[in-house]
Amino acid sequence: MPADPSTGWIDRLARACQPIPLRVPVLLVAYTVVLFLSRWMAYQLRFDFNVPADSWPHFGDYWSAVLCVQLFFLAVSGQFSGIMGYFSLPDVRRLLLASLASTGVLFGIRYQFPEVYIEPRGVILVTGLLGLSGVGAVRLACRLVRERYFSVYAKSAGTTRRVGIVGAGDVGAGLLRELHSRRGLGLEPVVFFDDDRSKWRSQVHGVPVAGSPDAIGRFKSKYNIDEVIIAMPSAPAKRIGEVVRTLRQHKLKFVTVPAIDQLASGKVKVSQLRAVAIEDLLGREPVGLETENIRRDLTGRTVAVTGAGGSIGSELCRQVASFKPKKLLLVEQSEVQLFQIEQELIGLGYGDIIVPLVADILDAARIRTIFAEYRPAVLFHAAAHKHVPMMERQPCEAVKNNALGTARLADLAQEGGLEKFVMISTDKAVNPTSAMGATKRLAELYLQALFARHPQGTKFIAVRFGNVLGSSGSVVPLFTKQIAAGGPVAVTHPDMVRYFMTIPEAAGLVLQSCAQGQGGEIFVLDMGKPVKIADLARQMIELSGLKPDEDIEIKFVGLRPGEKLFEEITCDNEHYRPTHHPRIMSFLGSSAGWDSVQAAFQELGKELDRPDPDRLKRLMQKIVPEYTPFLAQSDTGPTLSKA
């Protein structure tokens, strides 16, 4: 039903009849005084503080008309409707436009109607400049009074700590402004440090830039620094580590600003400081995504994510939602985890597109119903059992969920006409020594064989990457708990190395792989240089303010069944193929015959309920010859076998 056109007039009339806020007459008086004084000062400056007697009549004759023009444009620009205590760059821009407009109108009247209005050009111009400065000063004074005396952050903390800021760029300058306006935090910036030599011996908002962060020790006493804030969110992890070591050497407390992606998205403020985390020291350069390609696959389409409540699955949901799909299906077996990601996405404003679905990928009837009802175009399959030692003791569950579950889900995707199926795999699937890794390799083989059988159907893609910092079951939260408990920190082997990447980086590259995939590929993410687990443990202990092997013991406990000293990224029979993205590699392997793969999976399904895990491992080894299982051949412990 069309809206009544008179409704808009009624609303405006109702608003006009409301009581005038107190700020309007206050600002009117303040602006009138400022503009009157600006006009008076303009005459003084025009005539070198010796205004001729015949010029004063012009001042008196025109002042009310000039004032009305100036106040009119101030009102149009919103200078009466804004809250007095808030004044920022957008307000300055509007104030400048109002000043230019009023000055332009006065000049126009002077030249078009000289018999009505005649004043010296210099007076008109200087009146505009001084009026702009005066009104701006009034608004700025209101802001300073609010921040200093009336803000919830204005009350000074009991003790004030003098802080140095590492990073004199935009983030550091923004942090300085925040700390000045939020005195309740009890932090007083006294000095900047920056790697850019051109900034040395200069100032940022009145605070000096003393020199390089490496020179903090020389300036610690001079500026009486209590602690340091690292404001370099986009700096390389190596540089952050060097700064942290310098601060630790000089016994200075330190915190850091939020990550650059959080600042860029507006999720957090620069003043929401946090402790330096191990992710900051192991992190990598931000990933540049080809968003247009990703948008083509996701925007306006129905997308499903299995394992939506897990570490990778939940981040995939966040990033997929940002591309505005038509519907986002959150498929998750755990009700608790599903509720958490559902509430988070609702809080982010995606409540109208998400569909939370409690479902087990092994329940074929339930999955078939979901596919038939919602018709997803793209499926990200992140549901899996991934804990190596736990799955080593009960490989039947790893086979059931990771291999057979993926195979059943892939069959249903093919049957339901999905366009793309992207499975989250792992570097542990390459020459596996664990049951978990072997089941992931089995899933890869099934997807490749299924795509080779139906090349015109669903595009099946697998994405491999290594350990994800902060994910469920990763070594970082485990070490954190052990350090909090006073140690020891249990490291399997002094030479063990692993690849690490952040959860957002991994999820972003999975989306990029989806956009590039044509079916049958295994994408491998560039995971950088491997990190020694023992070095990781030492860094985490040091970040806690403790000393390795003194305050916290590092205990080497030996390799557990299924573990390797290092991980690989590609199998021997896979061939490298370049991609359009520098962080993504593509590998194609010769797919096994469909009949043999299907027969092998059927045989695996028959063996699931047998009590002997070694029998199941040997059967997996027949299908994945490069698998080297740990077999409990004797009571003395697990034994490596190629049998």
User: What's the one-letter identity of residue 500?
Assistant: F
- The CB density around residue 564, as the number of other CB atoms within 10 Å, is 21
Give me the pLDDT at residue 562, please: 66
- In order of start, what are the domains of the chain with their CATH numbers? 17-150 (no CATH), 161-276 (3.40.50.720), 291-468+500-527+569-611 (3.40.50.720)
Among this protein's residues, is 428 annotated catalytic?
Answer: yes
- The CB density around residue 177, as the number of other CB atoms within 10 Å, is 14
Query: Which residues does the chain have with pLDDT short of 50?
Result: 1-3, 5-7, 9, 12-13, 16-17, 152-153, 634-643
Q: Are 177 and 69 in contact (CB under 8 A)?
A: no
The most distant pair of C-alpha atoms in the chain lies apart, rounded to whole Å, by 116
Distance of CA 84 to the CA centre of its chain: 34
Closest CA to 424 of 356, 500, 522: 522
Cα angle 606-610-616, degrees, rounded to a multiple of 5: 75
Active-site residue identified among 420, 428, 440, 459: 428
Q: Are 161 and 223 in contact (CB under 8 A)?
A: no
Q: Are 501 and 528 in contact (CB under 8 A)?
A: yes
Closest CA to 252 of 203, 201, 218: 218
63-72 burial code (b ≥16 CB/10 A, e <16): eeebbebbbe
The predicted-structure confidence for 257-275, as pLDDT tens digits, reads as follows 876 555 555 555 555 666 6
Quote the CA–CA distance of 592 and 298 in Å, as a whole number.
Answer: 31
Q: Are 168 and 204 in contact (CB under 8 A)?
A: yes
Quote the CA–CA distance of 266 and 505 in Å, as a whole number.
Answer: 18
Quote the CA–CA distance of 289 and 579 in Å, as a whole number.
Answer: 13
Give me the pLDDT at residue 549, please: 79
Give me the pLDDT at residue 249, please: 85
Phi/psi of residue 515, nearest 5 degrees: -65, -30
User: What's the one-letter identity of residue 243?
Assistant: V
219-235 burial code (b ≥16 CB/10 A, e <16): bbeebebbebbbbbbeb
Q: How many CA atoms lie within 13 A of 529 on its CB side?
A: 9
Joined together, the tokens standing for residue 210 give 């003393």
Beta strands in 114-186 (DSSP E): 161-166
Cα angle 477-482-484, degrees, rounded to a multiple of 5: 95
Q: Are strands 489-491 and 467-469 parallel, antiparallel or unpaired?
A: unpaired
Quote the CA–CA distance of 344 and 318 in Å, as a whole number.
Answer: 9
The predicted-structure confidence for 391-423, as pLDDT tens digits, reads as follows 988 999 999 999 999 999 999 999 999 999 999
Q: How many CA atoms lie within 13 A of 274 on its CB side?
A: 14
